[in-house]
């Protein structure tokens, strides 16, 4: 009979010890975790920003240049007599120009771009190809 | 009691180490996303003004008499100012101040050339 009570006592103590262990872990572990996150995040935000800034800026410069050149080319085309043969091309130029004018960083640096280890953004390649196709036959020097 | 304090410290330290690992990752990512946005927006507008300056400098140089005398100087000033921009984040340069100067010179150049260009319909740039 006494053995049964002893078992129950030790079971009770073990459970209480587990509860205390978990309570300490929850309470102090979470406080430590939060402190660690804040401390490290603050230290690494600037590093991440500088890295992203130079990538974004290199591509932004390229896009801005193309945007101006398309705007200028469109103005040139509009000042000339348009015929049916150039109508379609002008429409494509206009579409690309509008796309560049409204282009936001997250359309270039997509989730896939992050996943694929920051290779040349696929969306940028499409834009550059379209731009080269549309401008290669023009007298205007892109 | 000492054991208990020791445990508290141990859990705190384990938590902190986990937190540091997570904080590094999220800090780098959060910073990078913000940097991509700001760098892209800023440079896109700057690239536009650079291409504008180069385009019009080439035209004006070929036909100086057709434009007011100070046009070429204004365009070169604009280009020089734009070229002070670097793709590396430089904490010594105030990007908003630089952009406002560039926009002012761009407007003045457009006025001298009697042309109308518009980089954006809103032209909002925040840092």
- pLDDT tens-digit profile of A26-56? 889 999 999 999 999 999 999 999 999 999 9
pLDDT mean for each 10 residues of chain A (142 residues)? 68 87 86 94 95 95 96 86 73 94 94 83 92 75 42
Locate the domains of chain B by residue range: 39-125
Has the ipTM of the complex gone over 0.85? Answer: yes
| CA distance, residue A73 to nearest chain B CA (Å) | 11
Gap between the Cα atoms of A88 and A85, Å rounded: 7
The reply to whether residue B47 touches residue A61, judged by beta carbons under 8 angstroms, is yes
Contact B81, B53 (CB under 8 A): no
Interface test with A, best of B8, B13, B35 (most A CBs within 10 A): B35
Contact B44 A38 (CB under 8 A): no
Number of domains in chain A: 1
Would you state the structure tokens that stand for residue B74, as one six-digit string? Answer: 């204004």
pLDDT of A141: 44
- Number of other residues whose CB lies within 10 A of the CB of residue A86: 13
8-state DSSP, B22: H
Backbone phi, psi, residue A29, to 5°: -65, -40
Q: How far apart are CA A128 and CA A137, in angstroms?
A: 15
Q: Are A134 and A89 in contact (CB under 8 A)?
A: yes
Tally the residues of chain A.
142
Range of the domain at A108: 2-140
Burial of residue B78 (number of CB atoms within 10 Å: 0-12, 13-18, 19+): buried
Give pLDDT, residue B20.
96
Q: What is the pLDDT of residues B77-121, one digit of tens each?
A: 999 999 999 899 888 888 899 999 999 999 999 999 999 998 986
Rounded-to-integer distance, Cα B14 and Cα A141, Å: 62
| Mean confidence (pLDDT) of chain A | 86
């Amino acid at each position: 009979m006494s053995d049964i009570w002893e078992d129950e006592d030790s079971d009770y103590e073990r459970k209480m010890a587990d509860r205390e262990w978990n309570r300490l872990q929850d309470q102090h572990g979470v406080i430590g975790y939060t402190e660690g996150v804040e401390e490290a995040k603050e230290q690494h935000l600037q590093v991440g920003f500088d890295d992203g800034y130079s990538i974004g800026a290199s591509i932004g410069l390229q896009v801005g240049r193309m945007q101006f050149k398309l705007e200028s080319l469109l103005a040139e085309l509009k000042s000339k007599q348009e015929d049916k043969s150039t109508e379609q091309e002008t429409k494509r130029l206009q579409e690309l120009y509008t796309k560049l004018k409204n282009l936001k960083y997250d359309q270039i640096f997509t989730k896939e771009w992050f996943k694929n280890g920051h290779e040349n953004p696929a969306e940028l390649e499409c834009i550059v190809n379209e731009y080269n196709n549309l401008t290669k036959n023009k007298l205007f020097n892109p | 009691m000492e054991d208990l304090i020791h445990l508290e410290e141990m859990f705190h330290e384990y938590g902190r180490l986990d937190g540091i690992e997570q904080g590094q990752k999220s800090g780098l990512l959060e910073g990078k996303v913000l940097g991509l946005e700001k760098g892209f927006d800023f440079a896109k507008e700057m690239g536009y003004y650079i291409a504008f300056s180069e385009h019009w400098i080439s035209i004006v140089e070929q036909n100086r008499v057709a434009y007011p005398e100070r046009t070429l100087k204004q365009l070169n000033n604009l280009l020089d100012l734009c070229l002070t921009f670097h793709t590396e984040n430089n904490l010594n340069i105030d990007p908003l101040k630089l952009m406002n100067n560039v926009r002012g010179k761009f407007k003045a150049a457009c006025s001298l050339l009697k042309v109308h260009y518009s980089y954006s319909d809103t032209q909002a740039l925040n840092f």
